Structure formats: structure tokens, C-alpha cells
């Protein structure tokens, strides 16, 4: 099986057949045809942590030097 489970309600098509409206987006899978798993949310965590880590720290020395040069 893949990373996502096939939606049992719409059978993977992402849409439901209704007599009134013809076709309607499957709310179980939000029209994707597959159920989103918690693994997907967990997979998004590492990049966010990496971005936090890679954020450069402000250097107080350069900042104070900029202040003294910009002061009157
Ligand atoms: Zn569905």
C-alpha cells in the first residue's frame, strides 16, 4: 500500500454520485480519493524544525557597531 489509504466512501475517485446534484465532492477525503493519515502531518515537522535551526542568530557586536555609527 502507499502512504495514503484509499477512501472507502468514494472508492478513490474523490467524488460521490448523488441523484440530486450529480457529482459532489467527497467530504471524507476532501476530493482527494484517499484518506489523509497522521503520518503526513508528522512528515511536515522536520522541515519546520530545520528552518528554525538554520535561522541565523543576530550578532550583538555588529548591532552595537551599527548603533554607534548611526548615532549622532
Ligand atoms: Zn472519498
pTM comes to 0.41
Cα-to-centroid distance, 16 and ligand 1 (Å): 7
Burial category of 10 from C-beta neighbours within 10 Å (exposed 0-12, middle 13-18, buried 19 and up):
buried
Query: Which tens digits make up the pLDDT trace of 48-59?
Result: 555 566 666 666
Q: How far apart are the C-alpha atoms of 72 and 62, rounded to whole Å?
A: 18
Per-residue pLDDT of 2-56, as tens digits, reads 567 899 999 999 999 888 768 899 998 999 999 876 555 555 555 555 556 666 6
What is the whole-number distance in angstroms between the Cα of residue 64 and the centre of ligand 1?
58
The domain segmentation of the chain, as residue ranges, is 5-53
The environment of the single-atom ion ligand 1, i.e. residues with CB closer than 5 A, is 7, 9-10, 26, 28-29
DSSP result, the chain: --SSEEPTTTTTSSEEEETTTEEEE-TTTTTSSEE--HHHHHHTHHHHHHHHHHSPPP-HHHHHHHHHHH--
Amino acid at each position: 500500500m502507499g502512504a495514503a489509504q484509499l477512501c472507502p466512501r468514494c472508492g478513490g475517485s474523490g467524488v460521490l454520485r448523488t441523484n440530486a446534484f450529480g457529482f459532489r465532492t467527497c467530504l471524507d477525503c476532501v476530493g482527494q480519493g484517499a484518506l489523509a493519515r497522521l503520518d503526513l502531518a508528522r512528515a511536515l515537522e522536520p522541515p519546520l524544525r530545520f528552518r528554525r535551526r538554520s535561522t541565523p542568530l543576530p550578532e550583538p557586536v555588529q548591532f552595537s557597531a551599527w548603533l554607534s555609527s548611526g548615532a549622532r
